Amino acid sequence: MKYDIAIITVTKDKLDPECLPSVRRLLAAPDLKVQFVLIDNASTSFDAHALVEKELPGAIIILRNKNFGMGRSSNRGAAEVEADYYFFLNPDTIIRDEKLLHRLRDFLLACPAAGMVAPRICYPDGRAQETCLRFPKWYSPLAQRTSWLPVAVAEKHRQDFLMEDYDHQKVRIVDWVQGSAFMISRQFFEELGGFDERFFMYYEDVDLCRRAWEKHRPVYYLPEVTLFHGYGKGSAVTGGLINGLIKNKMARAHISSWIKYTIKWLGKKI
């Protein structure tokens, strides 16, 4: 069966209890055929199949025997369903706008040159998260995670990277959007070859957006469409950089992806 939109969610021991009910409301849209696909990377804190089947009968559930990472798992989910558009969605998100899918799809229909579009993402208390950004420099992790750079240089980098010069209230073309929530047509996603599976976690979204720009298909941020996300910095390090990297697997994944991204894109211009 072909769908208008497929919602694709990857999880590993993380699924907000309000996420599935909010997805159920989207699936109930009478004028859209929507399918939900969950790829579970060997969660041990809950039974993903039982949980999703109870809340969303008819959903496609893919249980994996280990953690294959975000990009590779997202590609697996996309390959499972035929739809005109894919909406990639984090498992710790809550959607309160029942027309969210309509608004994002309608934007892409009205702007066929767009590569992808992302909604504004807010913390549960309504504060906007910094999810549309400028492309990172090769030294970005050094500026963000260490005190090796002069304070003024690091601060200037932070302001530029987070687009603090933009009020985040108007539709805007941006360098890239976080993979927490965005929509892309199946045709263009396949043209791009999906996510680069060399990135286990982190930078797979930056890379996808950069490849969209290579094909002259800009990335849009649509702040009039909003969802909520209990954002947690899983890769944050404490107790010093070296000690933090030893103890934090996600921090090591972040650095690994940064190195792969830098090798892939250093010296290339968009």
CB of 206 within 8 A of CB of 128? no
CB of 219 within 8 A of CB of 173? yes
For 128-157, write each residue's pLDDT tens digit.
999 999 999 887 777 666 776 677 777 887
Residue 84 has pLDDT above 90, yes or no: yes
CB of 8 within 8 A of CB of 71? no
* Maximum C-alpha span of the chain: 56
Q: How far is Cα 190 from Cα 195, in angstroms, rounded to an integer? A: 9
State residue 234's pLDDT score.
46
Kindly state the helix (H) or strand (E) to which residue 112 belongs, with its residue range: none
CB of 221 within 8 A of CB of 172? yes
Kindly state the helix (H) or strand (E) to which residue 28 belongs, with its residue range: none
Residue 74 has pLDDT above 70, yes or no: yes
Mean pLDDT (the chain, rounded): 91
Residue 266 has pLDDT above 70, yes or no: yes
Residue 23 has pLDDT above 90, yes or no: yes
For 60-70, write each residue's pLDDT tens digit.
999 999 999 99
The first and second tokens of residue 97, run together, are 């706008």
Hey, what's the torsion of the CAs at 253, 257, 121, 172, to 10 degrees?
Answer: 170
Q: What percent of the chain is predicted at pLDDT more than 70?
A: 91
Plot region of 40 (φ>0 → left; ψ -120 to 50 → alpha; else → beta): beta
State residue 142's pLDDT score.
72
State residue 85's pLDDT score.
98
The first and second tokens of residue 255, run together, are 């650095």
Residue 232 has pLDDT above 70, yes or no: no
Angle separating helix axes 48-55 and 19-27, nearest 10 degrees: 40
Residue 79 has pLDDT above 50, yes or no: yes
Hey, what domains does the chain have and what are their CATH numbers? 2-265 (3.90.550.10)
